[in-house]
Chain A
Amino acid sequence: MRNRVIGSLAASVLAMMVFSSMQLAQAGQRRGVGTGNAAVPVPPHDPHDLSGVWLLSGNGGGRGSTAVNQWSTQAPPMTPEGLAKMKANQPALGPRAIVPAKANDPLGEANPPGLLRTLIYSRPLRFVQLPDQLIQVFEWANHWRQIWTDDRKLPEGTGPFWYGYSVGKWEGDTFVVETAGLDSREWLDGWGNPFSDDLRVEERWRRLDRDNLELTVKFDDPKTYTKPWVSDKKMFRLQPKGTPNGELLEVIFAPMDENSFNENIRNPAGGATRK
């Protein structure tokens, strides 16, 4: 028995060492981007081909005491309307977190997370490029979106859609996506930050090398924020086939499963139930 315990401890330490070395290796690879380090061979890639499975690095941000929301450390102040909406949103995550049974996160009732929360949730997403559109398939909540690349314009009065209506085009090596029509019943992030139906989103995707994809997002929502603002950089890393995240799994939040979880785990754990 003692040997088993010692073996258990040794295995744990070994696992942590392996994990740490993986993190260091990934950090080293990230540092290698754009540094001109001639010692590291750069694998070939087509900057206009975003196909493949990608995984957000760093769990989406929102870390550190300076974070305003999970997208940015420098978002501008909200309008009075935005502030009122934020106060009405009661999250179970972030600086304003309360126990989830008393929160009103739409996800708690198995509603779709929507585009904005999905983009900063670290689950694999697949890009599929077709002649007239790019499709993003999200593992998280089993959703997908179309980004039309056939030169169409954003239609007036589109939506509301949980994942919006999107058009995209290439500007040099940057794939620029405009989105409107997002359903503002969903949140900007897991911390309960709001947006309005008037929100316009501009995503800028740039493949830095074969393995690294960068995203910045501009938010223009005069009803909610006093001026347009740009997110921090979000980094995505290619997940090759055969690796743990290299293929998408089914992740569906079925209301019957969510209700069972809430009743048996979430609510008793928090000592509260929603009235």
Chain B
Amino acid sequence: MITQSRSRVLIVMSLIIVGLTLVSIPTFGHHGTGISYDQNIWVPVTGTVLEFAWKNPHSQLYLAVTDDKGNTVRWGIEMNSPGVMIRQGWTNHQFKPGDQVTVSVHPSRTGAPVGECIPCSGLLNGKELPKPTATEERQPAAPEEKQ
């Protein structure tokens, strides 16, 4: 039990570290949703896949997540556009309903169950998702914002 707990902590730490290292990648995006998220933090979100929308302007992953009170909450995860993700090895079959997923997201500033996984890293059924590349897109909300 202790080993499982430590492993879980290590996984979470790993995802956070990966997220923090990737935040330095210069990114760019046109829909400006970045301002809606807290770009200063990454939080892990774990849940079961309900739907994967492989569509423009940005792909969307919907998860059933169990919150602290035991309630099931539908989370929406914003991902990059299919064109960018294809170039990093993702496909429209990347997720299917029932898959177990943990991803690092910038959470919505409003506290809504919505997050941004750009660039996206995480685990799919225990295996790492394909790595993001330099073509990830996200433009800073303001020119002085860190890239």
Chain A contact residues, CB within 8 Å of chain B: 1-2, 4-5, 8-9, 11-13, 15-16, 19, 22-23, 58-60, 62-65, 67, 91-95, 97-100, 103, 105, 107-108, 113, 117, 121-123, 139-140, 190, 244-245, 249-254, 257-258, 260-261, 264-266, 268-271
Contacts and interface: CB of A to CB of B under 8 A. Distances in A.
10 contacts: A1-B7, A2-B7, A58-B26, A97-B142, A140-B30, A190-B32, A257-B55, A261-B60, A265-B33, A270-B36
Contacts of A11: 128, 131
Contacts of B82: 249
Contacts of A249: 82-83, 86
Given A139-B83, A269-B78, A91 B21 contact: no
Interface residues of B, number: 55
B86 A99 contact: no
Contacts of A264: 60, 62, 76
B32 A91 contact: yes
Nearest to A268: B112
Interface stretch (B11-19, B41-49, B92-100): B11-19
Contact of A65 (B30, B33, B143): B143
A2 B9 CA distance: 10
A254 B53 CA distance: 14
Contacts of B57: 107, 253, 257-258, 261
Interface string B44-67: 000000000101111010100000
A113 B56 CA distance: 14
B108 interface: yes
Quick one: which of A15, A107, A261 has the most chain B CB within 10 A?
A: A261
Interface string B71-92: 0000010100111001100000
A269 B86 contact: no
B109 A271 contact: yes
Contacts of A100: 31-33, 35-36
A190 B86 CA distance: 24
A122 B28 contact: yes
A174 B26 CA distance: 30
Contacts of A117: 30
Nearest to A23: B134
A99 B110 CA distance: 11
B143 A67 contact: yes
A67 B144 CA distance: 10
Contacts of B62: 264
B76 A62 contact: no
Contacts of A16: 21-22
B111 to A, nearest CB: 8
A269 B36 contact: yes
Contacts of B128: 8, 11
Given A103-B32, A269-B33, A123 B83 contact: yes
Contact of A59 (B28, B78, B108): B28
Contacts of B141: 92-94, 97
Contacts of A64: 143-144
A239 to B, nearest CB: 11
Contacts of B10: 1-2, 5
Question: Counting chain B CB atoms within 10 Å of each CB, which of A60, A249, A250 scores highest?
Answer: A249
